[in-house]
A and B are shown apart, each in its own frame.
Chain A
Amino acid sequence: MRGITVQAVWRGPKDRLLLGVVLGLSVMGLFLIYSATQPAEGGAHVVLVLRQVEGLGLAVLLAVLLWALPLRLLEQLAPLIYAGAIALLVLTLISEEGDGARRWLSLGSGQIQTSELAKLATILLLARVLARRKTPGETLASLITPLGLALVPAALVILQPDLGTAAVYLALLGGMLFWAGVPLSRLFFLVSPLFCLALAFSLPLWAAFIGLLVVVILRARPYLWESAAVLVVNLALGTLAQPLWDTLRPYQQQRVLTFLRPDLDPQGAGWQLIQSKVAIGSGGLWGKGFLEGTQTRLAFLPEEHTDFIFSVAGEEFGFIGVTIFLGLFFLLLTRVLNVARDAENPFARLVSFGVLTLWLTHVVVNVGMVVGLVPVVGLPLPFLSFGRSFLVACFLGLALLQRSYLERWQPYGLGRS
């Protein structure tokens, strides 16, 4: 097998741009984390930064190791890896950690957030499953397997509870199905229940949506029973939505509403959003300067080294800084898109696009949340946010991308030769 040695990998072809942007972002992240973790009274507080550096080292190490493995091996091992990840998720649920949210698993001296690893595992297995199909998504039934593969870890994560991360799995599914060539109409059918539920509370909108559904059905001409299934599900959800809502108790209803409209709860999540906007807005064009962010320093920004790290960037580096960061992310994601396009091997293509979807979802949700476009969901920002598990996962993703790039001329993987 080619390229199993690290040295060979090191000297081999690599996407330098990708590498450079990732490392650059990671280093900038260190600066942001430093600024975000300084106490108000002054004095240097380096504990968290050093932990991130540790994480960075670990991430690089693991990434290099992964990079040395050929994709074919991963494709073979995908189900095993997936099973292992699910097992870890279950274990995480069982063990009691932290303040009620069971997201972490203690491993020796550290803790890992198992859902991060599970995301990668899901990407691998989904890629494998979808790569084998000739014409994926011709029937809705054929989509059940991938759907299930994404829903299982998603369900386990919801139970943690971590609604945001669960949503990432659905995004992954959607992205990879898209890249696998599933007809757009089928994708539409797949997401229709979600829209249906959301619109069920406004009769005219919901009716319009059903109308749209019918139009798409007529144009795409799926099998009859599929059409029926889609319609039935949507109609059922539409009629059941209101009664289902009524069975929820007030505090549960309140939870859902707060999730959707955090600004209605000025003490809780709404406050976070307000503070984030104040921090960013007050940064102006040039920002207040490194370490000079008053909102950051005085702890007005909550979770400033994790979920709201971009607000720190906004406050201290201003619009100019934000544009640079966003530009780097755009560059990164475009590059990944091109790797996903250029790879001959379907597995590689799908894995790459999976990583793209993963990173994009995190970036969009995190940055969107920070400016108030997206509900406050705690998704970290790749390479910038504090958090070692996620950093490792992102670097592993990088490794997969580098491998895809390396093997881009290799058209055949498992099941083809």
Chain B
Amino acid sequence: MPLNRPIGQDRWLLAFTTLSAIFFILLAAFVRLQILQSSEFRLRSEQNRVRMVSIPAPRGLILDRRGGVLAENIPQYEVALDWTIWKGDGPALDTLAAYLDRSRGWIEGRVSRSPDWRVRPVVVAKGADFGVVSRLEEHRRYFPGLRIQPRPARRYPYGQALAHVLGYVGEISGPELAKPQWTSYRAGDEMGKAGVEGAWQEVLRGKAGVKYVEVDAAGREVGLLRGQPIRQPVPGQPLVLTLDLDLQLEAARSFPKDLAGAVVAMDPRTGDLLAMYSQPTFDPNLLVGGLDRATWERQTRDPARPLFNRAVQALYPPGSAFKPVTAMAALNLGIVDFQTPGPRVCSGGMRFGRRYFRCWKAEGHGLLTLTDAIAQSCDVFFYQLGIGMGLERFLAQVSQLGLDRPTGLDLPQEVGGIVPTSTGWFDRRYGSRGWGRGVVLNLAIGQGEISLSPLHLAYFYSAIAGDGRPVPPRLVRGEGRPEVGLWRLAPEHVAGLREALDRAVNAPKGTARWLTVRYPHLDLAGKTGTAENPHGPDHGWFVGYGPRESPQIVVAAVVEFGVHGSTSAAPLVARLIDYYLNGQSPVRIPRIAATAEGE
């Protein structure tokens, strides 16, 4: 019987050979992994278990010139769920949702929208305050996988009043990440957008620290990696602005409600921007951390454009406020001086070519000197100046001022004005036959194809208020006097212009005389402007400075649809100058109905 003899040696041999072969193959596999590929796996085992965690750096504070805090960081918490641990316990999820003021479905939705929920905890609440967080911590044992992390958030204590100047912060967007200057940023990093936050982002952001953390397979931090020091974050540098907080708040308070416009206040000696306010405005605190889509759309689509900084981004025809520029041009060309009256009498209008150009005062101003023409804002006088200069020479003078370019203020949104620089400009725009010599009359009174921002006007007037040299505006405190501009008003012109502006406010027929009549203590000079506006009621301008002797502040304001410049913009400027110089002001700004038509 075959089985009663010892089993064939051949079967044993086959079995033994197979056994040996199997073990040889197994050993070979280990040779491959542990000898040949060892270093590669070593690296991977390190990568598995070590994670680099960035420690956010506190963002630099933004302060006003006296140290008042304009933008700060408040401690907030980010609540996240490690879904791999949570295991979707129903009732606990409902409780958690209630604490966070959300629904359970919303939380589940967030989890399903996070592609890496297996590796990273899913953030379910970004700006949770201490109250919520402490309650969650108390009941932590009901919420397995809960992760709470402090994440400071930006806060603007004065919200709307400083919105346009400061800007806001938000997460860096996809398109921004792609830009070469932002290569050091990663998705989720906070970035300043608009305003000072944006312009000074690199200074404010500081440098995030790094710590190396050991993680387990679930991605949970187990502890710090031994032997690896923590690189502490470098806090962002604080930024001291030239702004005067009190003045800024006063500007925000005083600006006529329900109207749009802007006011810019500068120190003519240094170029320091003392206040910049634009209306309508928005609350930047709402934008921190990102808005939900609906609110964002509403803000950007709002026809009133609250996000628009009218102080530097909006261009309006300057109207009569431009007359000192025309005067300067004529003075430079020597076709006029301050004392010589005429030659023409203002009788309410004049004929030029085939058109009749009116003066705003129907009965006319009579015979005026340049000084009075400015103070009483006579259009006819300036029409004559324009004709006398001729378009080419006029434009050449104006273009020296550089108003078609931004002033160089360190805000990213600033735009250059619309200023024709030569006749070629008109040719390009209308075709060589599409326009006539009459444009120079309009330009001379600041109408027509000229549009400037409040900042531009403040900039020009600061030369008048100063020593004839324009001072580039700046927002951030710097050392000493900044670089001077490229042009200069002759000293006698400065004196003459100042006299004219003084009379506008203080002399009997000045267009803004009513201010000093009502408030005799006011010490300021300035120019009214009324810009005709094809879309509705005129825009009102006023640019002023004070005190008249050695001015310390120049304020330019435009009020959209504010009708006459003297009605709305003038009291605003007067009040602000008065406030700045005296700490308070009785000047009242009349309420104007938002839809007032014409006069």
Binding site for B on A (CB under 8 A): 40-41, 131, 133-135, 178-181, 267, 275, 277-285, 294-295, 298-300, 302, 314-315, 318-319, 322-323, 326, 329-330, 333-334, 337, 340-342, 344, 346, 349, 360, 364, 367-368, 371-373, 411
Contact = CB atoms under 8 A, between A and B. Distances in A.
B114 interface: no
A41 B222 contact: yes
Contacts of A284: 34-35, 38, 42
Interface residues of B, number: 42
B483 interface: no
Contacts of B30: 280, 314, 319, 322-323, 326, 371
A367 B41 CA distance: 18
Nearest to B22: A364
Given A295-B48, A319-B31, A364-B22, 15 more contacts: A281-B40, A282-B45, A298-B215, A300-B216, A300-B217, A314-B33, A322-B27, A330-B20, A330-B23, A333-B19, A337-B15, A341-B7, A341-B12, A368-B26, A372-B29
Interface in B15-58: 15-16, 19-20, 22-23, 25-27, 29-31, 33-35, 37-38, 40-42, 44-46, 48-49
Contacts of B34: 280-281, 283-285, 314, 318-319, 322
B184 interface: no
Given A284-B38, A341-B12, A373-B26, A294 B49 contact: yes
A134 B26 contact: no
B294 interface: no
B227 interface: no
B230 interface: no
Contact of A298 (B8, B20, B35, B214): B214
Interface of B: 1-4, 6-8, 11-12, 15-16, 19-20, 22-23, 25-27, 29-31, 33-35, 37-38, 40-42, 44-46, 48-49, 118, 214-218, 222-223
Contact of B48 (A278, A326, A342, A372): A278
Contact of A323 (B8, B12, B27, B118): B27
A329 B30 CA distance: 15
Nearest to A356: B15
Contacts of B19: 330, 333-334, 337, 360
Contacts of B6: 341-342, 344
A178 B223 CA distance: 56
A299 B27 contact: no
B7 A298 contact: no
Contacts of A334: 16, 19
A269 to B, nearest CB: 15
A285 B33 CA distance: 10
Contacts of A278: 41, 44-45, 48
B298 to A, nearest CB: 41
B7 A280 contact: no
B2 A281 contact: no
B23 A282 contact: no
Nearest to B30: A322
A373 B25 contact: yes
Nearest to B23: A330
B29 A371 contact: yes
A176 to B, nearest CB: 12
A298 B216 contact: yes
Nearest to A136: B3
A314 B31 CA distance: 11
24 contacts: A40-B214, A267-B118, A279-B41, A280-B30, A282-B41, A294-B48, A295-B48, A298-B215, A299-B216, A300-B45, A300-B48, A300-B216, A315-B45, A318-B34, A329-B23, A330-B23, A344-B6, A349-B3, A364-B26, A368-B26, A371-B26, A371-B30, A372-B29, A373-B26
Given A278-B45, A281-B41, A131 B3 contact: yes
Contacts of A180: 3
B11 A181 contact: yes
B147 to A, nearest CB: 16
Contact of A285 (B7, B15, B38): B38
Contacts of B7: 179, 181, 340-341, 349
Given A278-B44, A298-B216, A134 B2 contact: yes
Contacts of B8: 181
A353 to B, nearest CB: 8
Given A281-B34, A285-B34, A319-B31, A181 B3 contact: yes
Nearest to B29: A371
B223 A41 contact: yes
Nearest to B12: A341
A277 to B, nearest CB: 6
A315 to B, nearest CB: 8
Given A294-B49, A373-B26, A40 B216 contact: yes
B84 to A, nearest CB: 11
Contacts of A372: 29
Given A282-B42, A372-B29, A337 B48 contact: no
A282 B223 contact: no
Q: Which interface residue of B2, B20, B33, B35 has the most chain A CB atoms within 10 A? A: B33
A295 B222 contact: no
Contacts of A319: 30-31, 34-35
B5 to A, nearest CB: 10
A248 B563 CA distance: 81
Instruction: Give the one of B1, B11, B35, B45 with max A CB within 10 A.
Output: B45
B32 to A, nearest CB: 8
- Pairs of residues from A and B, 7 with the lowest C-beta to C-beta distance, nearest first: A281-B41, A282-B45, A371-B29, A319-B34, A298-B216, A284-B38, A299-B217
Contacts of B11: 178-179, 181
Nearest to A130: B3
A344 B20 CA distance: 25
Nearest to A323: B27
Nearest to B118: A267
Residue of B44, B215, B218 with highest tally of chain A CB at under 10 A: B44
A349 B7 CA distance: 9
Contacts of A349: 3, 7
Contacts of A322: 27, 30, 34
